[in-house]
Amino acid sequence: MDKMKISQTKFGMFKPMSREERQEVHSNPFGINFKGNVLAADVFESSKAKETNSLSSNPFAKMTNKSKMVASAFVGSINSFNEAFRSRVNSIISFGKQIKENIANSWEFAKNTEIKLDFKGLTESIASKFNNQYSVNNLLKQPVDDLGAMFAAEHQTYKESLKA
């Protein structure tokens, strides 16, 4: 179905026409003037048409030309909305698929990964934190002379590291 918008509607009805043209095209026998221009659209509803409309069961049959244009424009806009909606839904679906694939890959990776808990290493690392020779508590247990010797040695090391 072609999309139809109100803005695209050709209002050629205001185009001036000769009397002959007018008679050929329109069922309006009076050739109604609107500020000097003859209305090109058949805005008058013939009595014949009215009779047929009243007899038909189609509810859209009563619609005028202009309202048909409006309706078609509305339908066109619904179609375009549907297309936009469909494209968004598709993108959501593809996103969902991607997530699903990622989860599946992660699960495969987790299944093939061996988890080990190294208690021995953990104990050693904790023990090294608490049994640090240079912790203040351990240093306080040592005689002052030993501390003096350690201080001198570490000071020398630090001095050399600054020079290097």
Partner 1 sequence: MKTVNKIDNIIEALCRHEDPKSISILEEIGTNSEIDEIREKTAHALIRKNCPESLRVVISSAGKGINDLSARVAMSSINEILSLNDKTEVLKVLEETMNSEEKSEIKDTARSVKALITYSM
Q: Report the residue number, 45 or 154, with the smaller CB distance to partner 1.
A: 154
Tell me if 104 contacts partner 1 by CB under 8 A.
no
Q: Give the max Cα distance, the chain.
A: 129
Query: In whole angstroms, how close is the CB of 136 to partner 1 at the nearest point?
Result: 5
**CA 39 to centroid of chain Cα atoms:** 47
Q: Report the residue number, 31 or 148, with the smaller CB distance to partner 1.
A: 148
Tell me if 126 contacts partner 1 by CB under 8 A.
no
Tell me if 80 contacts partner 1 by CB under 8 A.
no
Tell me if 157 contacts partner 1 by CB under 8 A.
yes
Rounded CA separation 24/19 (Å)? 9
Query: In whole angstroms, how close is the CB of 162 to partner 1 at the nearest point?
Result: 7
Tell me if 131 contacts partner 1 by CB under 8 A.
no
Rounded CA separation 9/2 (Å)? 13
Whether residue 97 contacts residue 74, with contact meaning beta carbons closer than 8 Å, is answered with no
DSSP state of 18: -
Run of H or E including 34: strand 33-34
Tell me if 148 contacts partner 1 by CB under 8 A.
yes
Whether residue 56 contacts residue 65, with contact meaning beta carbons closer than 8 Å, is answered with no
Q: Report the residue number, 8 or 156, with the smaller CB distance to partner 1.
A: 156
CB atoms within 10 A of CB 161: 8
Q: Which two tokens stand for residue 137?
A: 């508590």
CB atoms within 10 A of CB 38: 21
Determine the interface stretch with partner 1 among 60-68, 76-84, 91-99, 141-149 (rule: CB under 8 A): 141-149
Query: In whole angstroms, how close is the CB of 122 to partner 1 at the nearest point?
Result: 19
Query: In whole angstroms, how close is the CB of 140 to partner 1 at the nearest point?
Result: 5
Chain contacts with partner 1 (rule: CB under 8 A): 132, 134-136, 139-140, 142-145, 147-148, 150-152, 154-155, 157-159, 161-162
